[in-house]
Amino acid sequence: MCEIFVGANPALYEVKARSLRLHGASTSIRLENLFWSILEEIGGRDGLSLNQLLTRLYDELTEVRGDVGNFASFLRVSCARYLALQVSGRIPEDRAMPLRGLDAAWVLSGDVFGSGVSARNQSFAP
């Protein structure tokens, strides 16, 4: 089983820091290259640059949650959820289809992780 994961290209898990400005403040985010690629794909579906996507995610997260906490962890989880929702058929795999046009309520209704419960019924809720 582990060969599936161990055999991955090491470049995928190399960490890269990117600098950006969020509301005038400079910050740096460190993520593995695989996550940067997924975020670029997500943004590209709606014609957003990586910086535009990160700014939008940050703004919407602070609007809903207030304190952002660990933004890099939020981005990693967002990438995993994006892929899981694609596998479940809730997000189309066609990268030409924008995400902004999807019915968010319908997409999230199939998200086994959105309710705080994993696919194995183990609670992740605090």
Phi, psi of 62 (to 5 degrees): -65, -30
- Sort residue 39 into left (φ over 0), alpha (ψ -120 to 50) or beta: alpha
- Structural domain total, the chain: 1
Q: Would 126 be classed as within a structural domain?
A: no
Q: Would 50 be classed as within a structural domain?
A: yes
Q: Would 1 be classed as within a structural domain?
A: no
Q: Would 80 be classed as within a structural domain?
A: yes
Q: Would 122 be classed as within a structural domain?
A: no
- Domain extent at residue 17: 10-109
Q: Would 116 be classed as within a structural domain?
A: no
pLDDT for res 121 = 39
10-residue mean pLDDT profile of the chain (126 residues): values are: 88 93 88 97 97 94 88 96 92 93 88 53 41
Q: Would 60 be classed as within a structural domain?
A: yes
C-alpha–C-alpha distance, residues 116 and 125, integer Å: 5
Domain holding 97: CATH number? 1.10.3990.20
